[in-house]
Chain A
Amino acid sequence: MGLTLAEKILSRKAGREVRAGELVVVEVDQVMVVDSIAGSFFKRLAYLEATPRYPERVSIVIDHVAPAANLEVAKAQKEIREWGRKHGIRVFDVGRGVCHQVLMEEGLAQPGWIVVGSDSHSTTYGAVGAFGTGMGATDIALAAASGRTWLRVPESVKVTFRGKLPRGVTAKDAALEMVRLLTAEGATYMAVEIHLAEGAESLSRGERMTLANLTVEAGAKAGLLVPSGEILDLYRVPDWLYPDPDARYVREVEVDLSTLTPRVSVPFYVDNVQEVSAVRGKRVDQVFIGTCTNGRLEDLRAAAEVLRGRKVAPGVRLLVIPASSQVLEEAARDGTLLTLLEAGATLGTPGCGPCMGRHMGVLAPGEVCVSTSNRNFRGRMGAPDAEIYLASPRVAAASAVAGYIATPEDLAPLQEEAHA
């Protein structure tokens, strides 16, 4: 019996062949810490009387409340900078961007690596064949102190995407469909191993990040994409980093991308996924385009394509937060940003703010938000009765123009410009 991709990576790291169910202690290649747990992380290291064993393998990203929203946060962030300097730890400061996007841009997640992050969406690193997993402050502190982590080798669910996405349908729709099929607990303790077949291998690195990112919404420990397409051009992928053809899976799911339509995840559960047509017309107060799920250049461009020549509906706030400073710069350079601003968008500092209701875009009681993020839990973005609908940047942009949940195809056609 062969090995899954998760078993391959963990076997390599354990130095022996390991199977699902075994406990292993493995070296980690990168430990990612976000601002919101940094205080707990420092406290635990102090309790252990330890410092990071390999300082170059630790990164701290100030993104969850960036820039600081109050005095408490400002003090906590000052401590991060001082601690980073003292211990020679890399600190990505205010404005650099959302942790997962930043680590990918900096090459701190590579095929075959183990990356542990203090954020549940650390599964995102699976886009390039890294075993990325989210953990709490204690596990993260232990990983930094020892250079290792303690894991149960996960069983795997195999998800195969085939075919090409129809025009207007995106990787976000495919990811939401995957979560619907698996359910919120369908991959708990497991790795979701994603195969892109027959046309689907053309999905970009960013689109793969969206898929890997949302695997945690099915409970996954890791979301691993089998390397293919542009990943083979962008990275050095080791020969061993592929699952065996006779690997054993707990469950196999197939999605034909060519049959998909735009999807929306309806409050208050991510796996409550419906076609946009089921909620079309729902009034919207705020639209948020950004986050580690969909704040990349291609996402901003998709939104700009819908918004070009149009205006955000009166009374609707369109908040755009690029996932990183690099995304922001590129969007400024190619005109995407100007298109968004002309349509009436408000621009925020690269970071996570509104996604978990910390600052910049918190929702008032009774408000409705269409968001390109990854969670629509009750109270997540502010008031407990505020509603969050998760969608692609295209659907988000169209909803901002319409003032209600809509696809770009629902919008009135633009006036033909006069002949040049």
Chain B
Amino acid sequence: MPRVWKFGDQINTDDILPGKYAPFMVGEDRFHTFAFAHLRPEFAKEVKPGDILVFGRNAGLGSSREYAPEALRKLGIRAVIAKSYARIFFRNLVNLGIIPFESEEVVDALEDGDQVELDLETGVLLRGGERFALRPPPPFLLEALREGSLLDYYKKHGRFPGE
């Protein structure tokens, strides 16, 4: 069952992937192994595909580096839940096909190490017998996400969602 990895407020892209571990610095094949290298060195080794990342306020502030969320994608992360997001990070998540859920209450309710099940389409989150409802992403995002990512959407349709 997927595990919750919970982080605090103001987690920046340097926390998610320190700038010195960019793919072109350390290699395309291993940059993701440095995810959270400073904050939580065991993360990249222990995270399992399908695990859920949980952030507090202003998740992903800082650099536009897409290889921060790309490292998470490579480690099998398909969804994150945060109280709020920084804008470039939010866009990058969507573009890579990671669903950014937003909820103060669910973030407060979840604890690090929780075993959960999350339905990415409906936003229904189960922890034991408890049921939480996450608001599904807005339609224009879903439109892109249904094709996998914004890149896939554009490749298929030759235009942006809603255009």
Contacts and interface: CB of A to CB of B under 8 A. Distances in A.
Contact of B63 (A25, A49, A69, A120): A120
Contacts of B18: 357, 379-380
A59 to B, nearest CB: 16
B19 A380 contact: yes
A253 B14 CA distance: 29
Given A40-B67, A141-B151, A379 B24 contact: no
Interface in B16-39: 18-20, 22-28, 38-39
A357 B24 contact: no
A298 interface: no
Interface string B133-145: 0000000100000
A377 B12 contact: yes
Contacts of A145: 154
Contacts of B65: 36-37, 136
A113 B18 CA distance: 32
Interface of B: 10, 12, 14-15, 18-20, 22-28, 38-39, 57-58, 61-67, 69-70, 84-88, 91-92, 95-96, 140, 149-151, 154-155, 159-163
A137 B22 CA distance: 13
Nearest to B158: A146
Nearest to A76: B24
A149 B27 CA distance: 30
Contacts of B85: 188
B95 A219 contact: no
A72 B31 CA distance: 12
B25 A358 contact: yes
Given A72-B25, A135-B91, A119 B10 contact: no
Given A356-B19, A358-B25, A184 B10 contact: yes
Contact of A378 (B14, B92, B154): B14
A139 interface: yes
Contacts of B28: 39
B147 to A, nearest CB: 13
A382 B161 CA distance: 40
Nearest to A69: B25
Interface string A129-160: 00000111111011001101010000000000
B14 A380 contact: yes
Contact of A138 (B23, B38, B151): B151
Contacts of B151: 44, 47-48, 138, 141-142
Contact of B88 (A40, A120, A375, A379): A120
A188 B12 CA distance: 14
B68 to A, nearest CB: 9
Interface of A: 23, 25, 35-40, 44, 47-49, 65, 69-70, 72-73, 76, 117-120, 122, 134-139, 141-142, 145-146, 148, 150, 184-185, 188-189, 219, 221, 269, 356-358, 362, 375, 377-380, 382, 384
Nearest to A220: B87
A189 B92 CA distance: 14
Contacts of A122: 64
Contacts of A356: 14, 19-20, 63
A182 B64 CA distance: 20
A141 B152 CA distance: 12
A23 B20 CA distance: 35
Contact of B163 (A25, A188, A221, A379): A25
Contacts of A35: 24
A136 B25 contact: no
A37 B19 CA distance: 12
Contacts of A375: 14, 62
Nearest to B24: A76
Closest 7 CB pairs of A and B: A136-B66, A356-B19, A138-B95, A136-B92, A384-B38, A185-B58, A150-B160
Given A184-B10, A188-B58, A357-B20, A72 B26 contact: yes
B87 A188 contact: yes
A35 to B, nearest CB: 8
A132 to B, nearest CB: 12
A379 B16 CA distance: 11
Contacts of B162: 23
A39 to B, nearest CB: 5
B14 A135 contact: no
Contacts of A146: 154
Contacts of A189: 87
B31 to A, nearest CB: 10
